Amino acid sequence: MREFSSAVQTAINAERFKYFFLIELEFKYYKTPTTWSSSTNYITGDIVVLNEVKYIATSNNSNSTPSGSSSNWSTNINYTTDGYSTTNYYFTSYNRNITWDSNTYIADGGLFEFEAPNFSSVLDREAYKIVITDISDQFAAHFKAGVIGAPIRVKVGIINPANDQPLIATEDIINLYSGFVDGPSIENNWDTKLAVIEGTSPMADLDQVNVKMVSKDGMDQLDASDTSFDSLYEDSEINLKWGKV
């Protein structure tokens, strides 16, 4: 049985209680190197190309020329970390901003709808859905850049029925969902433009990951000494003795 903090449990035990959502979207993009220009002020993490060599800015330098001897530039680029830029969005369904875990979740950031899967007695393949107004085409630009696989984290908070204030202590916020963007789309109904983000459903945990080829060649890739599949591809005889010993 899931255990809650005493404050949350007290609120849940009340005849009625209200709740709110905290939603975090993390969009990560590969940084496309640009041709170095002396008229551009580069900042830490920018990747440029000069004379077919890639450099990464190691400080907020103005427009110093990239070189191997420059303290402002380096050719040692780790594309696992340095090669990406990250944009995070924080939304809340509460009627004012919520600050939690050093992040401010915006109440008027455009969160239009949040829809969780309906629970049933059978395995449910419905997806989490987040709908955000996108009049400025901000999310449309993200979708074009590619957001499939971007992390989504959803938490739920409880309103204290005693004073009608949100319970936002670390132990009071409940992790509701952690998944990934599965189906981004833009809906334009002429009245407003909506960015629709579908997250992976709970059934995604049952998807095949890191699949191994169950064959002779496939097993040889894992262990060259493995002979478990040899008999399937070669003529072989096995003598079995059975009966009382």
At 116-168, the pLDDT tens digits run 765 554 555 567 889 999 888 889 988 887 888 889 999 999 999 989 999 99
Element (H, E) at 194: strand 193-199
CA distance 86 to 81: 10
pLDDT the model gives residue 235 = 66
Summarised one tens digit per residue, pLDDT across range 103-112 is 999 998 888 8
CA angle 206, 179, 137 (to 5 degrees): 135
Element (H, E) at 181: strand 174-188
* Per-residue exposure over 128-151, b if at least 16 CB sit within 10 Å of its own CB, e if not: bebbbbbeeeebbebbeeebeebb
Residue-range domains of the chain with CATH: 6-30+85-206 (no CATH), 32-82 (2.10.10.20)
Strands 174-188 and 193-199: antiparallel
Residue 25, phi then psi, degrees to nearest 5: -115, 135
When pLDDT is cut at 50, 70 and 90, the band that residue 211 belongs to is low
Q: Which of 23, 170, 194 is nearest to 92 (CA)?
A: 23
Q: Which of 83, 86, 198, 79 is nearest to 142 (CA)?
A: 86
pLDDT the model gives residue 83 = 64
